[in-house]
Amino acid sequence: PAVERTLVLVKPDGVRRGLSGEVLRRIEAKGYTLVAVELKQATTELLAAHYAEHEGKPFYQPLVDFMLSGPTLAVVAEGQGVIPGFRSLAGATNPTEAAPGTIRGDLGRDWGLKVQQNLVHGSDSTESAAREIGLWFPGL
Ligand code: DAT
Ligand code: MG
């Protein structure tokens, strides 16, 4: 696979629980390179752009409110196949269904219907990665 870059977010639940280092450790242990790491407070404008594909869905507003609830660790990681590769490390969207061995499967908890609190985000395609890296790291 090609060398590529992806946007990873340690969401506010992960930062609050002190799991930023654990997520970075797993990215590096897999052999990917950290290109940029920055703790940021997301804004409504940034999240509207980041989650534009989900606008209008029932979980959209709770997701945005959750993402505004504290700082997010934004990461650009690089490596061969890192876009699907990080999605594999992250595991399924719902932490209850995510396989053991994955970030969400090992560390994620399901509080009722709060599926949005699933610790991490990873870009899902080369197009999303380029768009999302531009949003979170305009200087890169
Ligand atoms: P992923 O983060 O695995 O790419 P996604 O892009 O479909 O998942 O959704 C973005 C985020 O929205 C996801 O991380 C958590 C939240 N979400 C998705 N589906 C949800 C649902 N059915 N209920 C609550 N939150 C949901
Ligand atoms: Mg997604």
**Is 121 one of the catalytic residues?**
yes
- pLDDT tens per residue across span 81-99: 999 999 999 999 999 999 9
- pLDDT tens per residue across span 18-31: 999 999 999 999 99
Interface predicted TM-score (ipTM) of this complex, two decimals: 0.96
Is the distance from CB of 5 to CB of 77 less than 8 angstroms?
Answer: yes
Q: Catalytic: which of 23, 121, 122, 133?
A: 121
Q: The pTM is what?
A: 0.96
Q: Would you kindly state where each structural domain of the chain is located, as residue ranges?
A: 3-136
Pocket test for ligand 1, best of 69, 114, 115 (most atoms within 8 A of CB): 115
* 59 has binding-site annotation: yes
> Which protein residue's CA is at the shortest distance from atom 16 of ligand 1?
116
* 5 has binding-site annotation: no
Please write down the long-range contacts of 111-117, taking CB distance under 8 Å and 24 or more positions apart: 114/62, 114/66, 115/59, 116/59, 116/62, 116/63, 116/66, 116/67, 117/11, 117/13, 117/66
d(CA 113, CA 117): 9
Q: Which CATH superfamily is domain 3-136 in?
A: Nucleoside diphosphate kinase-like domain (3.30.70.141)
